[in-house]
Structure 1
Amino acid sequence: MKNQINVEGIRLYAYHGCLPEETKIGGEYIVDVNMVYDFHEAAVKDDLNLTIDYCTVFNICKEEMTIPSKLIEHVGKRIYDRIIHAFPKLIETKVKVTKLLPPMNGPVDKVSIIIED
């Protein structure tokens, strides 16, 4: 059976970027994690130990976002790697990191990267 668990809209303040101002001032980010996982047994038994713990996913994202990176590609890869390591039974995993109001030469609401298998 193929089911999906999504932890979306994780809003965090972090200090990623290539510009010196970004590492000092910081900015807002949103992380979305989509996981395909067979949680049929957990659904039947109502047992958290048989499924993905949302708090673990949140904490991985929060911890990795506190480590400054020049690129959101880098922090996204770290989040992705930790999630697939924490939950080895995942069938598919997708991590999206969005940087709100990036410093650019014009009005841009957001930029994002997606890492998935």
Structure 2
Amino acid sequence: MPRTQWRVCSVPRCPEYTRHGKCDEHRREAEQQRGSARQRGYGRQHERRFRPAVLARDPRCVCASTEHGHDDPCGEASVHADHWPLSRRELTDRGHDPDDPQHGRGLCGPCHSKSTAREQPGGWNR
């Protein structure tokens, strides 16, 4: 098991050491600000309509694996129904139904994390 190094919390001027990006106190604060999935708009329609339909249509990750020098899909098992090319927030702002499966794609965990980091710099609270 690899050892994780200790580092200073990523919140400016916080002197606490952590093995993660933020210390425990700042992680708790960020989670409270983020709110629950329901508070962020992921309700029953997302669970019953959007997610199952997207994962049934895309059982394998459709994200292009450009880091390996080609544009072929990753091909790992899809575990996330990702809103794409517009975010859930953008779809809602434009008057579209964010739970319509046509607005989604199936992604594996690593590709979803990379996409979120790239498309939502600064995280969910921006």
Indicate whether the TM-score tops 0.5.
Answer: no
Specify the structure having the higher radius of gyration (Cα).
2
TM-score by length of structure 1 reads 0.29
TM-score by length of structure 2 reads 0.27
The higher relative CO (CA closer than 8 Å, separation ≥ 6) is in 1
